[in-house]
Structure 1
């Protein structure tokens, strides 16, 4: 590792009988909560795991967090059906200790399908077939050594349509079976719809784009950001400067009016691992993206990844505030 939009959709019980089968459970009210790292710590993620009554389904690119691993084992010992998918193509060496522990304690853990370049998704879903279902869609891996210095986000939600789509895709990925994931209410999947979804956000922006990402090599994304700036959209990018790896992209972006702020890649600086976009903040068309997708061709077209778009006012405000502060704290390119 380098280091809602809910659209007010009615939650009818038949809303997601969909191609995958079971109807989604109905909720009285959908909610989304943003978790901001390193500011808030991972207590809310640990609490989510501990709250499971019947099932936990986790897909994780990298798992090196003894607290999370022990909680998964405790859940399994308490009769919760725990299933975990861990990346193998990139992170087998880092994941083997967790894999062995989980297997020994009764968790149903499998290596990810090698069909994907990497399984870079970071998602935890609990009690998916019940009215108490929740899911965390994260930019962060469960890798505790990075927690104190890394900017990451997670959205914890209970949207029934999203959860049913995530669970159906998880079942196929767990079985190493082909699937075209449902977009649910607002999901952004790789390798199916992520590049189109992210380009739609960028291309449709009218006033502003605020971006954090770990990578900046996908030519379609870079071109779209340049064109947005050229047409008068205020485009702001915050990243870690990893030995000038993206200097050519940064130079092209700034030439077209994009404002870029970077942090040094060292042990004391804030590391920008988040993958997030806030578009048109403060307007009626404001929308944000949070997910595991980096701005690289592999991440968007070859990996298994998951994110979501949201129009939740609280999530938008917190993202905008945090990312704007990050921009101010970095060094202009």
Structure 2
């Protein structure tokens, strides 16, 4: 697996890294996206269409709050003759961010194909050339395109929701012997919380980079703040990342392995939504993830989450609210 993986880091690599993937396509592009709002990406898709690449795009129709971010992109692609469809109704939200290029490479990302995530947020994307990984991402795409059930393989390093992602994330955490570095904005799942506490108690050095309240919905503040307070009580070191804005979802284990992808630490992400993550072990990828996490950690400040029942303190030290930056 290791030799077949490489890493994209946002905002460092920028939209150019994604455009380069699209521009290399010669025969086929399969894209499944929560949000498409980037003229550079759209123009790259138009160029691919004009050179004869077969393109199919699935876009999530609306967020859990009802926002319809993708209507404009849908109409634009349809007008260009690109095959475009809404994501499967089997899931209330499709949060997956994937792309398959010519059946030779698959991108599994934490970032949306939207300019904000290329310029303002810390995000990651893993490009895999592993044939088994690519086959499974394609199979998941085809199943959702056809609105049929998909039974993914559990042995290729992909993490699918709503199938088995909670269990796999727990297994990754349980495997830690020395260190766990968590870069996640949202903590809304008791199973994963207990696993992190247990790791700290068995002597693993656990560090958590969170985003504070920024980007959290009102109903997620209660669980996230309470979870962060419990982690602090257990001795976990916690810092709040402000810039780049924290949108990444990363668990880094013992400097040897990692899990990243679209799913937040969130019950709905595990149980209801279509999500996709990937386990990583390529030394170059792990090294860059570690370097990026460490830089973000050094730039961040110690954070003690306020009492979730005392909203008077919820905005202390926070970035200004951004209605277009929400951890769905």
- Runs of 4+ in structure 1 deviating by more than 6 angstroms, as ranges, are none
Q: Are 1:274 and 2:274 an aligned pair? A: no
User: What is the Cα deviation at residue 147 of structure 1?
Assistant: 2.4
Q: CA RMSD in A?
A: 1.5
1:207 aligns with: 178
User: What is the Cα deviation at residue 280 of structure 1?
Assistant: 1.0
More divergent stretch after superposition (292-301 vs 35-44): 35-44
Q: Are 1:228 and 2:199 an aligned pair? A: yes
Contact 1:61 1:141 in 2 (8 A): yes
Unaligned residue ranges in structure 2 (runs of 5+): 304-328
Contact 1:32 1:312 in 2 (8 A): yes
Q: Are 1:143 and 2:143 an aligned pair? A: no
Contact 2:185 2:212 in 1 (8 A): no
Structure 1, residues 135-156: CA drift from partner, whole Å, max 9, x if none? 1110100110342220000111
The 1:175–1:92 alpha-carbon spacing in structure 2 relative to 1, beyond 3 Å, is farther
Task: Select which of 55, 60, 80 maps to 2:33.
Answer: 60
1:179 aligns with: 150
TM-score by length of 1: 0.85
In 1, the alpha carbon distance for the partners of 2:14 and 2:280 equals 22
1:301 aligns with: 271
In 2, the alpha carbon distance for the partners of 1:56 and 1:46 equals 12
Contact 1:162 1:184 in 2 (8 A): no
User: What is the Cα deviation at residue 114 of structure 1?
Assistant: 2.0
Q: Are 1:168 and 2:139 an aligned pair? A: yes
Structure 1, residues 66-121: CA drift from partner, whole Å, max 9, x if none? 11112112212221110011111417621011000111111111001122121000
- Give the alignment of 1:62-211 within 5 angstroms: 62-90=35-63, 93-128=68-103, 133-183=104-154, 185-211=156-182
In 2, the alpha carbon distance for the partners of 1:116 and 1:214 equals 22
* SS of equivalent to 2:14: coil
Contact 2:110 2:248 in 1 (8 A): yes
Q: Are 1:313 and 2:279 an aligned pair? A: no
How many residues are matched? 294
Task: Select which of 41, 59, 64 maps to 2:14.
Answer: 41
In 2, the alpha carbon distance for the partners of 1:179 and 1:313 equals 31
In 2, the alpha carbon distance for the partners of 1:277 and 1:222 equals 13
* SS of equivalent to 1:178: coil
Unaligned residue ranges in structure 1 (runs of 5+): 7-29
Contact 2:197 2:234 in 1 (8 A): yes
Contact 1:88 1:114 in 2 (8 A): no
